[in-house]
Structure 1
Amino acid sequence: MNPQPDTPRHVVATAADAETVLRRLARDGWTARPGFALPDPAWDVAAAHIVLHGRIGDDDTDTARLAVLAAARGAGVVAVCDTESPAGRALVDDLGRIGQVHRGADGADPVAHLIPEQRALLDRLAAGDTIAAAAAAEFLSLRTANRRIAEARALFGVRTTREAVLAYLRQRQPD
């Protein structure tokens, strides 16, 4: 069974974000259940419109596996975890193999909100250019390039340019 494309798969940073997503899903007819173990022995649970939710710790690979298995069986998943941790990155990658993964309470991915200048700058920084060299190559002033990178850092919720580049590389779609 392939899960339906509209099956919710969310990875959020806080319990408050999870509650926001769960309230929205409840309005859409999904039944929320804590934990990631499915009580139904049937493999395909998509028709039940169950969304499982809970926290996945940095070293909690068993819970992450249960969440991925539940998603593969057609259940919705709302996981609270640190997407910068190895377990969080693995969870997002594994869920991404099943279908689209939404990050954050609004369901939007930060990469989708980057403007082309920001993408080009981040690509050049990822390739090893300095901000000044990336700005020159993109025909931007250094001040504009620094502002675009600062906006990207805020969008990704990170403090450093290096963290923004790493977050961009992890979250962008492969070419």
Structure 2
Amino acid sequence: MTRQPDAPRHIVATAADADAVLRRLTRAGWTARPGFALPDPAWDVTAARLVLHGRITDNDTLQLAVLAAARGAGIVAVSDTDSPVGRALVDDLARLGPLQHGTGADSTVAELVPEQRALLDRLAAGETIAAAAAAEYLSLRTANRRIAEARAMFGVRTTREAVLAYLRQRRDDTG
């Protein structure tokens, strides 16, 4: 059973986290499909760059997801890892290779340039983009570009989502 080591396997807690991971993966060239049943009869589907996603709450769905991962598909599973099914999912997928818990964007905060971190800190404190730009001696246009870049890095659409993702990751890194 040969599979590429780069097939993504994520277990996330919420549908919103799954959406963030899926946005990032589709930008990277993966094709997202809901559910875990593979449409391709060929055993190795690695070349298709297919990522299957959905909620895993029972053993049947768990088996489909693990089989798809073994055949080379990427997996983004929404599951409670404290439940028996969630623990079995973690164990089975971890046997296949690296497994990421959460959105897999843990390194995003480290990739931000200092201006982006400063702007996100100020936005988190309640400042407007204009006020944050002025405080950081940036033009409004530059501040908006830095925030747009941060949104793309976090795989989110809104500035609010970027600030929340930034705060969540910063908290996880320190906690």
TM-score category, normalised to shorter length: 0.5 to 0.7
- Structure 2 distance, partners of 1:107, 1:155, is 11
User: 1:85-112: per-residue Cα shift (whole Å, max 9, x none)?
Assistant: 110010011000001110001355xxxx
> Partner letter of residue 21 of structure 2?
V
User: 1:13-58: per-residue Cα shift (whole Å, max 9, x none)?
Assistant: 000000000000001100000000001000000000000000011x
Alignment of 1:13-162 (within 5 A): 13-57=13-57, 60-108=58-106, 155=172
- Structure 1 distance, partners of 2:37, 2:49, is 15
Quote how far apart the aligned CAs of 1:4 are.
1.1
- Structure 2 distance, partners of 1:46, 1:8, is 11
Task: Let me know the Cα RMSD of the aligned residues.
Answer: 2.0
Quote how far apart the aligned CAs of 1:2 are.
2.4
State the identity as a percent.
71
Relative to the length of structure 2, the TM-score reads 0.60
Give structure 1 regions of 4+ aligned residues with deviation exceeding 2 angstroms: none
- Structure 2 gaps, min length 5: 107-170
SS of aligned partner of 1:11: strand
- Structure 2 distance, partners of 1:4, 1:24, is 19
SS of aligned partner of 2:17: helix
> Partner letter of residue 55 of structure 1?
R
Relative to the length of structure 1, the TM-score reads 0.60
- Structure 1 distance, partners of 2:43, 2:3, is 11
- Structure 2 distance, partners of 1:30, 1:93, is 24
Equivalent residue pairs, number: 111
Aligned to 2:123: none
SS of aligned partner of 2:94: helix
SS of aligned partner of 2:64: helix
Contact map agreement 2:20 2:103 (CA 8 A) in 1:
yes
Contact map agreement 2:10 2:104 (CA 8 A) in 1:
no
Contact map agreement 2:12 2:78 (CA 8 A) in 1:
yes
Quote how far apart the aligned CAs of 1:155 are.
4.5
> Partner letter of residue 66 of structure 2?
V
- Structure 2 distance, partners of 1:92, 1:10, is 10
Contact map agreement 2:12 2:18 (CA 8 A) in 1:
yes
- Structure 1 gaps, min length 5: 109-153, 157-175
